[in-house]
Amino acid sequence: MYPCIPKKQQQQLQAAENIICHPDGRLSTGHAGVLLAERRGSYPLIDLRILKTSAQRGEVESSNRKKVMRQLSFQRYCHASRLLRGFMPHTPGSLHLLDDDYLGQAAHMLSKVGTWNFDIFLFDRLTNGNSLVTLMCHLFNVNGLIHHFQLDIVKLHRFLGMVQDDYHSQNPYHNAVHAADVTQAMYCYLKEPRLAERLSPLDVFLGLVAAAAHDVDHPGVNQPFLIKTRHHLASLYQNTSVLESHHWRSTVGMLRESGLLSHLPADMSQDMEQQLGSLILATDISRQNEFLSTFREHLDNRDLDLQLASHRHFMLQIALKCADVCNPCRVWELSRQWSERVCEEFYRQGDLERKFDLEISPLCDQQANSVPAIQIGFISYIVEPLFEEWQRFTEPSLLSRTMMGHLHKNKARWSSLRYAQTTVDLQSHPDAAEAEPEGGGGEGENEKQAKKNSCKICELTVKEMSNWYYIRSTVDRTQIILRKKQLVYLTVSSSIRNSIYTSPVFWWFER
């Protein structure tokens, strides 16, 4: 099945590919446990042509082709069964589909849906787990999208129900609540004065739908995991934006199955599908530098013209990217919950990789990557650079100033937590700091001078405490304390901005 790989490792890879977590947390393997990433509408004709061409070149295994064909048959069965039994969670006889959800506190919260302190966790509880459907129906209504596009309210509710249902609640982070949170953030960004005055109803429609569906059917593992387990989605999308492509194709399939856009001209609905794809694909974190550089260049040259559809679309991409990673810009009580959730999902993937003797992905080893450390790196290299440019774009608005204020406070709190955690770890394991590095303690003058110069370059400050060194980097705020009377080393993050990776740079200190 996997050429040039030992049979035992082949079996482990196959088992890892077929893993899925049940709601009760148990794991199952085999055909019934294949990741629910093989869903309706995910394999349009263009993708099947790519798969067929790749197969002819020997790039895709026959087992993967069989999986796709089996899944297509299963999709047809599911589509027919949904038509027979109906998919509406409410009775079609009433067009007041959200009356129950609009009562009481949920209605009060919806009246403030455009405020940045919106608590999506509370809203999800008040709507009995239907936060995404309720939020989207409300936003479509208040923005006049139902009237403008002459949408069938029953088809709209069916489509939104399908989207919400295709998020997996067992995922700690990539679930329907995350989608609702991103949608609410996207709505706040669409209301920014500089953007709102130029947006068309089509822009608002695309922005909200892309936000709601940007992670639909997420399996709870990242792209490298799918690639190294040789999942058929990785083969189908040729190891490029695998998850984002799947989210987009799934959304297109649900749009067509629900018939939401069936009354529109074919060329218009196809153009809307393509634009949705462009927006969802922009959330691929590996393209962060590409979008950030273009955004910064536009702002430096002052050449953004929002009267141009292409420039408005680019700003929708940037807004969606901001909404997707805006958790550190929320108030601490909300931000911390999201941070713990995403790290829990990372750790679950690491546990799977460890179980099947796979290389553990970056940030997925709970023993090596603490929540504070992960969040500080995420803020420093992803969130801060992006939102600094967004603040420039808004000139800056009240919302952007509020977000940056939360961001700086949250980063400081994570730094404090990491410092406290490091102190506890060192006090709990005092012998860990006593280990001498290999090669003894002797050093030449050239080596000592080189290390001294390196410290200057990194701008590290060393403060003596009673029995410890307190070391702080003024570049990326790395902090650690170390025992005296020993030769030790510290790994700090690279000071290069706009990078999603960290480089190990070793600094040595002597008494």
Q: How far is CA 19 from CA 14, 31, 74, 435, 436, in A?
A: 9, 9, 19, 40, 42
Rounded distance, CA 474 to CA 415, Å? Answer: 13
For CA atoms 253, 259, 261, 263, the dihedral sign is: positive
Sequence-distant (6+) residues with CB within 8 A of 369 are: 343, 346, 362, 363
**Is position 368 annotated in a ligand binding site?**
no
Q: How far apart are the first and last CA of the chain?
A: 57
DSSP for 475-508?
TT--EEEEESSS-EEEEE----TT-SS---EEEE
Cβ atoms of 252 and 273 within 8 Å: the answer is yes
**Is position 31 annotated in a ligand binding site?**
no
**Is position 324 annotated in a ligand binding site?**
yes
**Is position 176 annotated in a ligand binding site?**
yes
Beta strands in 291-438 (DSSP E): none
Q: How far is CA 241 from CA 98, 170, 286, in A?
A: 36, 23, 8
DSSP for 23-91?
TTS-EE-SGGGS-S---TTSS-HHHHHHHHHHHHTT-S-HHHHHHHHHHHHHHHHHHHHHHHH---SS-
Q: Which residues pair with 479 in a beta bridge?
A: 472
**Is position 375 annotated in a ligand binding site?**
yes
Question: φ, ψ for residue 21 (rounded to 5)?
Answer: -90, 130
Q: Which residue in the list 174, 218, 232, 246 is annotated as catalytic?
A: 174
Q: Which helix (H) or strand (E) holds 215?
A: none
Task: Specify the length of the chain in residues.
Answer: 511
Nearest CA to 44 out of 256, 249, 270 is that of 249
Q: Which residues pair with 225 in a beta bridge?
A: none
Q: Which residue has the tokens 């991103």?
A: 182
Q: Which residues pair with 488 in a beta bridge?
A: 509
- Strand bridging mode 468-473 / 460-464: antiparallel
Rounded distance, CA 363 to CA 501, Å? Answer: 11
**Is position 246 annotated in a ligand binding site?**
no
**Is position 177 annotated in a ligand binding site?**
yes
Is 408 labeled as catalytic in the residue annotation?
no
Residues annotated within the binding site for Zn(2+) are 178, 214-215, 324
Active-site annotation, residues = 174
Annotated binding site for AMP: 174-178, 215, 324, 375
Residue ranges at the known binding site: 174-178, 214-215, 324, 375
